[in-house]
Amino acid sequence: MSDLGWFASFAVVALIMIVVSGWIAWFSRRSMKAHKNQIEDMVLEMREIIDEGDRELPPES
C-alpha cells in the first residue's frame, strides 16, 4: 500500500473515532440530565413528606 493509502486509512479511522466519541459524550450528557431530573424529583418528594410529618407533630413546649 502506498503512503497515500496508509494516510487515507488512518484519516478514516481517526474520523470514525471522533464521531463515536462525540456520540458517546452527547449520550452521556443526555443521560446525566435525565438522572439529575430524577434526583431533583426525589428530593422534592422527600421534602414534602418531611413537611407533612412536621405539620402532624404537636408543637414542642
pLDDT value at 45 more than 70: yes
pLDDT value at 15 more than 90: yes
Q: Across residues 18-28, what is the average pLDDT? A: 95
Residue 39 lies in a domain: yes
Tally of domains in the chain: 1
Confidence of residue 49 (pLDDT cuts 50, 70, 90): confident
CA dihedral sign of residues 46, 52, 58, 61? positive
pTM, entire model: 0.53
Burial 22-47 (b: 16+ CB within 10 A, else e): eeeeeeeeeeeeeeeeeeeeeeeeee
Q: What angle do CA 47, 45, 57 make, to 5 degrees?
A: 45
Q: What pLDDT was estimated at residue 58?
A: 66
Range of the domain at 43: 21-56
Residue 38 lies in a domain: yes
Mean pLDDT, the chain, integer: 87
Residue 36 lies in a domain: yes
Q: Across residues 5-28, what is the average pLDDT? A: 95
Contacts (Cβ under 8 Å, ≥6 apart) of 9? 1
**How many Å separate Cα 58 from the centre of its chain?**
42
Residue 40 lies in a domain: yes
